[in-house]
Amino acid sequence: MHVVTLQDQTAPVTAQFVPGAGMIGISLADDGVELLGQRRGLDAYLSAGKTMGLPLLHPWANRLSARTYRVGHDTVEIAEGAAGVRTDEHGLPIHGLLAARPDWRVRAETADRLVAEYDFAATPELLASFPFPHTLEITATLRERTLSIRTVVTATADRPVPLCFGFHPYLRLPGVPRAEWTVETPPLRHLEVDDRGLPTGATRLQPAASEPLADRTFDDGYDEVAEGAVFAVSGGGRRITVRFDRGYPAAQIFAPASEDVICFEPMAAPTDALTGGGYDTARPGTPAVAQFSIGV
């Protein structure tokens, strides 16, 4: 597969993407030190959709509470075994339909910038589960120690496109014990969930915080994320930030006990918004733009 390597022109920071594997980011390195969790690797992502690195989750991030959802007057059913559908331990559809999809087109490639496009409407088997024709354009730019990911969703028919997608950056601090990582979060609204990881409707406000990760774990959802909000993990003289530049009012923080990774996941809508509501749309003639940035 064609691996695109971006090189920061001002610092020894590199990033790698594989457009032919769902436009996944597989590396973000600082002077040769890998900062993305490799988990089971690219092969497991290709064969089983096991996430690693920096994957796109589209057209919905996280899980849905049901295989049936309504948009306007239309009812959509996600069939058993439908193309691109993967499920969690409860049998719920999770992380959208585009994991490892090969049919991305590279539109531009320079030393520090990559532009790739996906025509969702060109794949009828995906439209069966998400019948909203659109294109996705992702631009990855690596400059001044910052990897920026800009996503544009453009409706290509006469119906709005629900915006429930997200990204899942697995961040790591090599050589620093997990217990010594410091986690920084902005003011947020925490979403309480049930035993399936689905929001119950209960919420609580959470002030900005900076505290050691220690033995804590996270698999927590939030909304009311302000434009420009910054999440960070630091330790051992290194700090990695994730800035929600625009278009991401929701987030998930994931830090399992079994792995030395932490994820600050930019989401266009909270978990299960596609079935429960609470999402924005890309309307015909008005593309939706979202961007987040990872600073090293």
pLDDT in tens, 56-65: 999 999 999 9
Asked if the model's pLDDT at residue 82 lies above 90, the reply is: yes
Q: Report the pLDDT value the prediction gives residue 1, as an integer from 0 to 100.
A: 87
For residue 211, what are its two tokens? Answer: 């505290």
Predicted TM-score (pTM) of the model is: 0.97
For residue 64, what are its two tokens? Answer: 């849905």
CA distance 218 to 200: 17
Mean per-residue pLDDT of the chain: 97
Task: Say which CATH architecture domain 4-295 belongs to.
Answer: Distorted Sandwich (2.70)
Q: Provide DSSP, 262-273.
A: EEEEEESS-TTH
Let me know: does 281 contact 161? Beta carbons within 8 Å. Answer: yes
Q: Report the pLDDT value the prediction gives residue 88, as an integer from 0 to 100.
A: 93
> In the chain, pLDDT over 70 holds for what percent of residues?
100
pLDDT in tens, 221-236: 999 999 999 999 999 9
Query: How many C-beta neighbours within 10 Å does residue 222 have?
Result: 25
Mean pLDDT along residues 155-159 = 96
